[in-house]
Chains A and B, each alone.
Chain A
Amino acid sequence: MSRRPSADVDPEGMTMTTESGGKTAARLRRLVSVAPRKRGKATRRLSAALRMLAALVFAGGLYMAVAPASSAADNPPLSRQAEDGKALFDQNCISCHGSNAQGVDGRGPSLIGVGSASVEFQVTTGRMPAARQEAQVPRKRPFWGGEELDNNAKALGQYIQELGGGPQLPAGTDFASQGDIARGGELFRINCASCHAFSAGGGALSSGKYAPSLKEATDREMYAAMLTGPQNMPVFGDNQLTPQQKTDIIAYVQGMKSDQDPGGWGLGRFGPVTEGLAIFLVGIVALVFATLWIAGKS
């Protein structure tokens, strides 16, 4: 098959070569004879070709000038901390979040642009690495402990931050002391209580999802959660809740958690459900025993 066309072409080529000398001579003659009429068009074409060539050279040159820079952005020199983070990432996170944190379809999302705040929240609350795929990743004992956890979370955060940018947490571990509790309370009731409940004890969402209890949440975790909106939580960016308002809310939640219940045992602060349970389990049971006792007296 491959030989046949070449066999076909060859005789044609032969004929072309035999005829070509006369034909081009005729063409050239014609070109020369009509030259005074077509001269303007030819120069236009020539200059267009030249300009095209110049543009191509320029674009090529530009590409040559820029290309090294962009290849440097793909593999930037990571800071030392981020290098540590990358090592941790490649060991613990890569199976779901993919190489360079680009995500794996159906397993884990891309982490480009989530920022170090998100990484710190997920790692320090033990949510990441996740045990399994489910409606919501629960808080659990963190993968690392103590100082190692802090360092590793910071390193991973730095790596993700340098990889794709995103929201970052302010420095410090104590935000609560800088907040206004009363204003924070109002903001909490409007923005947070509809899921986390008035007592910050958490509440159910649809299909097994839930707003977790804030009982164990630290100042930094709460700040990070508001800033990054983990899992089913909406993002409260700085244009929705200013940093000061976030601090106020943290102050209110921490204040409420450390407040003792003035009325006695708080029954878990779940509201009327546990109160109803208590009136039957404590009130009615105690009084039924009282009736048994007093009716038995004779």
Chain B
Amino acid sequence: MKRRKFDVKALPAATANAVDERFKAAGPIRGLLNKVFPDHWSFLLGEIALFSFIILLLTGTFLTLFFDPSMTEVIYNGAYAPLRGQAMSHAYATSLDISFAVRGGLIVRQMHHWAALLFLAAIVVHMFRIFFTGAFRKPRELNWIIGLLLFWLGFLEGFAGYSLPDDALSGTGLRIATGIMLSIPIIGTWVTTSLFGGEFPGHVILDRLYIAHVLLVPGILLALITVHVGLVFVQKHTQWPGPGRTNSNVVGERMFPRYAIKQGGFFMLVFAVVAFLGGLFQINPIWLFGPYRAAVVSAGSQPDWYVMFLDGSTRLMPAWELRFSLFGHGYTLPAIFWPTVVLPGILTVLPLIYPFIEARKNRDTSRHNLLNRPRDVPQRTALGMMAVSFYVVLLVSGGNDIIADKFHISLNAMTWAGRIAILVVPPLAYYITHRIALGLQQHDREVLAHGVETGIIKRLPNGAFVEIHQPLAPVDEHGHPAHLDYVGWTVPRKMNRLGALGPAIRGFFRPIERPAPPPPPPALPAKERDKIDA
């Protein structure tokens, strides 16, 4: 019998060939792996959200193995002594068991919650990057809209998850959500009763929230994320202007191997940060909140940070209740309707249509693959900062009772400060940002015209002091530098950073290469050297 020769080296090629003969995959995969991505730290912010989402799917799947959303009342007899003998829903009892009885349950629960906060935080930070660099412009308006929908879906998903453990805090949140839904004119009552299957809290709401939280919303999120990332592949990633970069090329690294390896490493880093937070920082201690009872409302009951701006807007809203009669029926429009239904409506619609408003205002129909530096579009940057400051005032007001208590400020003073700030701070932010952007622009033009400051001060014969500038371009016979155009990218400012694309010495934490040692001084006569030593 002849021994068959098995060539290990040929195995990958043979396997790939076999796959390609059957599925014709080589062409598309080659295209994919050769895809070029531009490299900049700010392009990785969206990835934080993507990786958090993956962590959420992984940890969430683990949690579903032990969680039961049933509202059946049980008497707790588990590991946590301070709640033993208490009547509670089965959902809360299983949440406690995940925290205290399931091995590794608490850290996974905490990682899940931290990853949820990180998911939405990264979405918001990523959205700032997209907005301030103008990456939402044609042809990427649809991806901007999908991104906004992802935020609101994440918001809903987070709220549903926050409500599931059925502790006193989540029940309070659900009660507030009921109040908000009830405030909607005409349909409010119907929406609420059909969602809760009758009066709050009923017996079905947790089952419904559960299926929304583990299947419906994550399914939509996953689909939209796929489209979101797929569109980046199809439309190509935007890039910063710079040497060799034009509106019609992409300068960067290929998907495989370098970019894929970097992304894999970055996923590990995100996972590490979430695991670090989940292991070292306690989040949502449901055992302290206790089971939900209508009578139990703790001081300092806040939603998670991404819902907190609505809490803030509610706190700042004056109690303006409208009563009117329509078609012979009396209607009440409570004050809560404006800050919790109308305001989020505005906050959804305005950003959705912003790309189109800006394009229309600038009569701009061209495609943009190069990003703007925020300073180069002062109006957009200022508008963005105005929106951010508006949001931050609401966010801070959402926690104003904690701030009032811990910093010994009157709560009433905090509320009034918020009411004034919501009107005063955004216009102020607009003005200040606009001025800063113009100032930065002017400085860039100055450097291009006169060169980099050297720090060398020269005294002229007439006694005046001038600083010597190092021109960036060759000088003519009079010593005047040639004219340089601003190309929308960093202008060197320091002598040791003459290259526009990065520091001269590489290394993030410390230099990875040593600069060449300075040449030794010309040899001096032996006697003189002795003199110096002495």
Chain B residue with minimal CB distance to A212? B405
Q: Which of A182, A196, A264 contacts B84 (CB 8 A)?
A: A182
A37 to B409, CA, bound (A): 90
Chain A residue with minimal CB distance to B406? A270
Q: Is the CB of B169 within 8 A of A271?
A: yes
A189 close to chain B: CB less than 8 A: yes
Q: Is the CB of A294 within 8 A of B44?
A: yes
A222 close to chain B: CB less than 8 A: no
A111 to B361, CA, bound (A): 73
Chain A residue with minimal CB distance to B411? A204
A17 to B145, CA, bound (A): 120
Nearest CB of A to B360, in Å: 34
A270 to B508, CA, bound (A): 37
Residues of B within 8 A of A269 (CB): 285, 288
Q: Which of A265, A280, A283, A295 contacts B114 (CB 8 A)?
A: A283
Residue-wise, chain B 266-285 has the 8 Å CB interface mask toward A (1 for contact) of 10011001100101111111
B83 close to chain A: CB less than 8 A: yes
Q: Is the CB of A204 within 8 A of B405?
A: yes
Q: Is the CB of A272 within 8 A of B302?
A: yes
Nearest CB of B to A139, in Å: 12
A42 close to chain B: CB less than 8 A: no
Chain A residue with minimal CB distance to B266? A294
A297 to B398, CA, bound (A): 40
A291 close to chain B: CB less than 8 A: yes
B187 close to chain A: CB less than 8 A: no
The main secondary structure of chain A at its interface with chain B is: helix
Q: Is the CB of A193 within 8 A of B304?
A: no
Residues of A within 8 A of B285 (CB): 261, 263, 266, 269
B residues contacting the other copy or chain, number (CB 8 A): 74
A residues contacting the other copy or chain, number (CB 8 A): 63
Q: Is the CB of B281 within 8 A of A198?
A: no
B125 close to chain A: CB less than 8 A: yes
Q: Is the CB of B121 within 8 A of A197?
A: no
Residue-wise, chain A 256-298 has the 8 Å CB interface mask toward B (1 for contact) of 1001011111110111111111111011101110111111111
28 contacts between A and B (CB under 8 A): A182-B81, A182-B86, A185-B83, A189-B296, A190-B293, A197-B300, A198-B168, A198-B289, A202-B299, A204-B411, A206-B411, A206-B412, A262-B106, A263-B99, A264-B281, A267-B281, A269-B288, A270-B300, A273-B402, A276-B305, A278-B277, A280-B305, A282-B273, A283-B121, A286-B273, A291-B45, A294-B266, A296-B502
B interface residue numbers (CB < 8 A to A): 39-45, 48, 81-86, 99-100, 106, 110, 114, 117-118, 121-122, 125, 168-169, 253, 262, 265-266, 269-270, 273-274, 277, 279-285, 288-290, 293, 295-305, 308, 395, 398-399, 401-402, 404-406, 408-413, 502, 508
A interface residue numbers (CB < 8 A to B): 135, 181-183, 185-186, 189-190, 193-199, 201-208, 210-211, 252, 255-256, 259, 261-267, 269-280, 282-284, 286-288, 290-298
